[in-house]
Amino acid sequence: MDERSEEGVCELLRQVYDPELGINIVDLGLIYGMDWKEDEIIVRMTLTTPGCPMHETIAGGVKYVLQGQMGFNTVEVDVVWEPPWTPNMMTEEAKEQLGYF
């Protein structure tokens, strides 16, 4: 995929799943934003809980997808805790998959 747009990046990030929940990180509402120039991108994201044991796995998935399929040479994952994640940040599809009403 050559299209370096926020929509294009988010579409690729849908391939990265939270292994404990089985939902992709975009639909979970974990992606807060991104900035890029040329071959470098910084993805601001959070996790469902501080100290999440899957932190490295998820961040590694973000790097793998964006380097491999979008061709960024440098991918930085900036995990932030503000605003704190809540289930209300999930898409309707994610809420439905998890049975959250």
Q: Tokens at residue 4, please? A: 């370096």
The C-alpha atoms of residue 58 and residue 13 are separated, in whole angstroms, by 10
The C-alpha atoms of residue 91 and residue 72 are separated, in whole angstroms, by 27
The C-alpha atoms of residue 15 and residue 18 are separated, in whole angstroms, by 10
> What integer pLDDT is reported at residue 29 of this predicted model?
97
pLDDT tens readout for residues 38-70: 899 999 999 999 888 889 999 999 999 999 888
The C-alpha atoms of residue 94 and residue 43 are separated, in whole angstroms, by 21
pLDDT band at 7 (very low <50, low <70, confident <90, very high): very high
Q: Tokens at residue 51, please? A: 């100290």
> What integer pLDDT is reported at residue 1 of this predicted model?
45
pLDDT tens readout for residues 11-32: 999 999 999 999 999 999 999 9
> What integer pLDDT is reported at residue 101 of this predicted model?
66
Q: The whole model's pTM is what? A: 0.90
Domains of the chain by start residue, with CATH: 6-98 (3.30.300.130)
> What integer pLDDT is reported at residue 5 of this predicted model?
87
